[in-house]
Structure 1
Amino acid sequence: MLAVTDLVGTLSGLLTLAVPHEGAEVDDLTIAEPAHGVVGQPGDLVLGVGVDGPQGALTVVADAAAAGAGGVVLRRSLGRRRDVRSRARRDGIALVELADQASWAHLVWLLRGVLDRAAVGPGRREDAPVQDDLFALADAAAGLVDAPVTIEDAQSRVLAYSSRQDLTDPARVSTIVGRRVPDEVLATLRAQGVFRRLARSSEPVYVPASGGTKPRLVVPVRAGGEWLGSIWVVVEQRPPAALVAELVQTSAVVALHLLRLRAQSDLSRRVAADRLRGVLSGSTAGADEWLPPGPWRVAALGAAGDAGRTLDVWESVLRRQAWNSPLIAELDGRVYAVVRDTDDAAPGSWPWLCAVVERARREGLDLVVRAGRPAHQPAALERSRSEAQEADRVTPSAEAVARHEDVWAQVTIARAAAALPEEALGPLRLLQEHDAVHATDHLRTLAAWLDHPGAPSAAARAIHVHPNTMRYRMNRVADLAGLDLDDPAVRLAVRLQLAALEGAPTA
């Protein structure tokens, strides 16, 4: 986190602190879009790029303060208004003025540079030296071609960038702010076949101007035939072959740094996964030091296809959707995540995870998530994990999202049935034996009848038979077993026994 006062002091030629707030700190940027509910989250410096009137300024200040943002930046003409400053003081948020003649794009890359370099400063992260080297390589590549440069990994996450990003287009500005390429830009590049060429070839790719974006030269970064990332250069036209050759040589050096960064990231992920597995198994020592503020939910994560790749699929999805350090781990053959049980849709929260699943399913990726009840203490996370398992067992696979409290009735039946032996009692034993000897299906018929009381047609559809067949079978059940299905205790006992027998072989 960087103090707002220090940040303003660093960029004193552009920024002025209009309303200070004690302890105000920031570690990220958000461009405010009040119409779409984008007003920042805790630790964000909210940029009022599109705010052009007093009412809009008051709204952004109020909404950012309510979201717990660290500060708001407005044009000086708005930041000096008495009502705007009064609102910032009343709501308890730092207000920063941007000089009226200054460029927002210029400010964005300056702020991102300060924040990113602060985040990888000495003693802050194990990969700080590698990150610093990548920033230096980005500047060196920019010096070669006299153009802005970003270095990205194979998932289009921005790892480093050069100076002079203010000379680029809106797509690059959005990339720098969000540390990843915007989805609409990715879709365009995929349609052009850019990523397919990067993954298969070592040859640089020239991407012509499209949709208001400037041309790009993309140099793949590879090591041992593996595609690790790429160098993106915003150009006005295709560079000369000699400059392209120098960038290709630079990519070899970048590859070494990306390999180091990946090794360090893999180690960090293993340590984080071990800690998470421990707390999900009941070992909570030191959990308060690394868990985000509670309450939390434990979510069981699933994906169609190769079960062995569920962890990889989910980690890729969560990171691409801006959860940079997802709390995700594999335990006893299942993949779990710990998310914050909050009302906001910030990355790493339960509402955000539900939205990620729905978005992925619309794009053809069959993901499911089942969550336990909220845990207000780390010690309760083990219980939430068990409940996530229960929810998964009773929820149909076609349903994308389920919470334990949404399927409490099915869970209650499953718990009761689990206490019964997988052996029919009373009249059900006669039906079970008859099914086994005569290849009939009376137990399944009886279950459908009980599940659809007073609706024989619906019961028949559930087991794919004609209603007359259903009625005939139920008459046979009455003759064989003599069950009094008008007695509620008998109905409950029969249904619980049938639930316990569902895992047993049937005709």
Structure 2
Amino acid sequence: MSTHPARSLSRVLEDFGPTLLDLVHGDPVAAGELGGVGIHDPYDEQHHPERAVVLGVGVHGTEEICRLLRELAGAGAAALVVRGPTDADAAAAAEFEAVAAETGIVLLALTRGASWAQLAAMLRTLLSEGDVGGAGEQTLGGVPSGDLFALANAIATLLDAPITIEDRRSRILAFSGRQDEADPPRVESILARRVPERYLRIHEEHGVFEKLYRSEQPVHIPPPALGDEVALPRMAIAVRAGDEILGSVWAALRKPLTPEREEAFKEAAKLVALHMLRFRAGADAENRLRADLVTTALEGGSGAVEALGRLGLADEPVVVLAMGLEPAADGDHAQLTAERQRLTTALAVHLTAVQPRSAVALLGDVAYALFPVPDDATAARERAVRVAANFLERTGDRAGAVVGIGSVAAEPAALARSRTNADRALRVLSGGRGAGRVAAIGDVYVDALLIEMRDLAVANRDEPSGPLARLVAYDRRHNAHLVETLRAWLDAFGDVIAASASVFVHPNTFRYRIRRVAEVGQLDLRDPSARFAAMLELRLMGLYDQG
């Protein structure tokens, strides 16, 4: 079992190197606790987590690498990963060493042939341990609960052989160190995170999986004969939970296991099953826990500070995003619910890729997100709008999703207000009054006020009165179009020519009608207050939405 914390760079190198990562320069121990994973993009604004491992995809050459190291020092990054091998001459090595010492950032190299996507996924899996949950760390068999990499290393020590833990589809869930002692097929499996297809076919032809899943004992598997490829023999055992097969554990052997080690392998498989079950159950439990924490934080009460702390959001400004779906006229409730859940999951993936400390939960019919933002309110609003718009562009408009963005909450007590404002912006968009599919409350504030004023009038059972009520009544009796005339005249700022053209009547006819508006409505159109009152009442009565 590793003595290094799961969120440390030393643990990353212990689990992934030298199969995936090589240390070029820097001190992993001094890197401290890692804050997450970031991907460098030279064409976009960078917002990496504090103490991030940054993946320098497409970064090559001594000059470019050193320049990026200096940039990341200002962003508080812990490590930079570039594609290996790096420049091997003495001058390049000396420059790397000097810049690593200057910036304090550890430089790592990703093995040629390894996938950036797989490295990012494995790093996030390793670094996510303990992100949300209780204060104490749970263990199973002396290994942190759900930490399959630590368990693989423990089994490798027991058997004195490199280990992989695989699921039912032969995908690599975790692997031990010492993979360099295995064979090329094992290294290829680690790099691709799954067993090569050609070996799977050989195992299926020889009935390896059938024998493996029928037996409760370790199964000896001779090295497959495949051209000139050299492979070691394997020993594998199925991982069971009752009658359910969860996966398997594979050891690459240079010498046969003793009976004692075979028995230890059998017992280890039971422990693997417990960890896999805890990991699987923990995913659902964590989702429920995150939803509870998001709900508590949004209420803004005494528990908000603790909830934000457990979500890792206690010390930075946050903005609330509210995503809603417009139900289709012929859509059934089950389909709409499934679509909400699908989009909520997609939103969580999108936001955590942009800002790993984001938290998303579906509460009723609305998906709420807590999204960390910069201190500057304008920059925060622009960033939130840009990220939400990008998400909706990626998901398409088939679902009819819209996103309202609240005000910036600089402290936990302000989160409830941010949620209220996100709901207000969402309601404007859902009512079709917004110009797009994303709106911040600052951009639709007046529309939100008008909706709330209309709600207040309905709640008070107010009846229309005054000039506009008289015009509406007159139009109903005489089909006179006086309300339409007033609306056109106000929209044109009193320009009769423009107003008459907008309603397709002769200017003289329009002049006659606007005089009738003043007479019938008893409305002084020369009075700015009267004009404003008429415009406001038109909005509140929804008459601007008509023909």
- Calculate the TM-score normalised by the size of structure 1: 0.65
Aligned to 1:72: 80
Compute the displacement of 1:401 (Å).
0.9
**One-letter identity of the residue aligned with 2:532:** L
Q: How many residues align?
A: 429
Aligned to 1:360: 395
Distance 1:149 1:261, change over 3 A: closer
Which structure 2 residues correspond to residues 428-507 of structure 1 after superposition, within 5 A?
428-435=468-475, 437=477, 442-443=482-483, 446-447=486-487, 449-454=489-494, 466-467=504-505, 471=510, 474=514, 476-502=516-542
Which structure 2 residues correspond to residues 11-160 of structure 1 after superposition, within 5 A?
14-15=22-23, 17-18=25-26, 22-26=30-34, 28-30=36-38, 32-34=40-42, 40-48=48-56, 50-73=58-81, 75=86, 77=88, 81-90=93-102, 92-96=103-107, 98=109, 103=112, 105=114, 116=125, 120=129, 124=137, 129=145, 132=148, 151=167, 160=173
1:4 equivalent among 5, 9, 15: 9
Aligned to 1:234: 196
Structure 1: how far apart are the matches of 2:521 and 2:529?
16
Aligned to 1:266: 284
**One-letter identity of the residue aligned with 1:18:** G
Q: Deviations over 1:200-222 (max 9, x none)?
A: xxxxxxxxxxxxxxxxxxxxxxx
Structure 1: how far apart are the matches of 2:514 and 2:483?
10
The answer on whether the counterparts of 1:388 and 1:403 sit within 8 Å (CA) in structure 2 is yes
SS at 1:25 equivalent: coil
Unpaired stretches in structure 2, ≥5 consecutive residues: 1-5, 157-161, 180-185, 215-237, 248-272, 328-332
2:412 equivalent among 358, 378, 392: 378
Q: Deviations over 1:328-358 (max 9, x none)?
A: 334564332221223999xx96643332122
**One-letter identity of the residue aligned with 1:490:** A
Structure 1: how far apart are the matches of 2:358 and 2:100?
33
Structure 1: how far apart are the matches of 2:47 and 2:319?
25
- Percent identity over paired residues: 24
Distance 1:316 1:473, change over 3 A: farther
**One-letter identity of the residue aligned with 2:285:** L
User: Quick check: 1:389 aligned with 2:389?
Assistant: no
The answer on whether the counterparts of 1:71 and 1:94 sit within 8 Å (CA) in structure 2 is yes
Distance 1:273 1:493, change over 3 A: same
**One-letter identity of the residue aligned with 2:7:** L
1:408 equivalent among 431, 442, 445: 445
SS at 1:57 equivalent: helix
The answer on whether the counterparts of 1:149 and 1:161 sit within 8 Å (CA) in structure 2 is yes
**One-letter identity of the residue aligned with 2:197:** V
Aligned to 2:345: 316
Compute the displacement of 1:426 (Å).
2.0
Compute the displacement of 1:402 (Å).
0.6
The answer on whether the counterparts of 2:31 and 2:106 sit within 8 Å (CA) in structure 1 is no
User: Quick check: 1:254 aligned with 2:246?
Assistant: yes
Aligned to 1:194: none
Q: Deviations over 1:63-82 (max 9, x none)?
A: 33343322124537489645
SS at 1:52 equivalent: coil
1:302 equivalent among 324, 345, 358: 324
**One-letter identity of the residue aligned with 2:366:** R
Compute the displacement of 1:309 (Å).
4.3
Structure 2: how far apart are the matches of 1:461 and 1:150?
73
User: Quick check: 1:287 aligned with 2:327?
Assistant: no
Structure 1: how far apart are the matches of 2:167 and 2:435?
40
Distance 1:247 1:386, change over 3 A: farther
Higher relative contact order (CA 8 A, sep 6+): 2
Q: Deviations over 1:94-122 (max 9, x none)?
A: 223559xx646299978976874575589
Q: Deviations over 1:132-185 (max 9, x none)?
A: 39987xx99xxxxx99986599xxxx9925577751598x4xxx6xxxxxxxxx
**One-letter identity of the residue aligned with 1:268:** E
The answer on whether the counterparts of 1:295 and 1:374 sit within 8 Å (CA) in structure 2 is yes
Structure 1: how far apart are the matches of 2:59 and 2:545?
67
Structure 2: how far apart are the matches of 1:259 and 1:367?
35
Structure 2: how far apart are the matches of 1:308 and 1:382?
25
Distance 1:271 1:322, change over 3 A: same
Structure 2: how far apart are the matches of 1:374 and 1:387?
10
Distance 1:429 1:6, change over 3 A: closer
Structure 1: how far apart are the matches of 2:210 and 2:543?
65
Structure 2: how far apart are the matches of 1:486 and 1:375?
44
The answer on whether the counterparts of 1:303 and 1:366 sit within 8 Å (CA) in structure 2 is yes
Unpaired stretches in structure 1, ≥5 consecutive residues: 141-145, 177-231
**One-letter identity of the residue aligned with 1:253:** I
SS at 1:15 equivalent: strand
- Calculate the TM-score normalised by the size of structure 2: 0.61
Distance 1:147 1:88, change over 3 A: closer
> How large is the Cα RMSD of the aligned pairs?
5.1
Distance 1:149 1:36, change over 3 A: farther
SS at 2:246 equivalent: helix
The answer on whether the counterparts of 1:373 and 1:384 sit within 8 Å (CA) in structure 2 is yes
Compute the displacement of 1:397 (Å).
5.6
Structure 2: how far apart are the matches of 1:58 and 1:84?
7
Distance 1:167 1:474, change over 3 A: farther
Q: Deviations over 1:353-400 (max 9, x none)?
A: 3321222227x4432111111110111111111212222333436611
Structure 1: how far apart are the matches of 2:209 and 2:488?
70
Q: Deviations over 1:38-66 (max 9, x none)?
A: 79543432344644322211222133334
The answer on whether the counterparts of 1:304 and 1:367 sit within 8 Å (CA) in structure 2 is yes
Structure 2: how far apart are the matches of 1:458 and 1:330?
49
The answer on whether the counterparts of 2:26 and 2:107 sit within 8 Å (CA) in structure 1 is yes
Compute the displacement of 1:254 (Å).
2.4
Structure showing greater radius of gyration is 2
Structure 2: how far apart are the matches of 1:42 and 1:501?
51
Which structure 2 residues correspond to residues 206-225 of structure 1 after superposition, within 5 A?
none
Compute the displacement of 1:489 (Å).
0.8
The answer on whether the counterparts of 1:120 and 1:132 sit within 8 Å (CA) in structure 2 is no
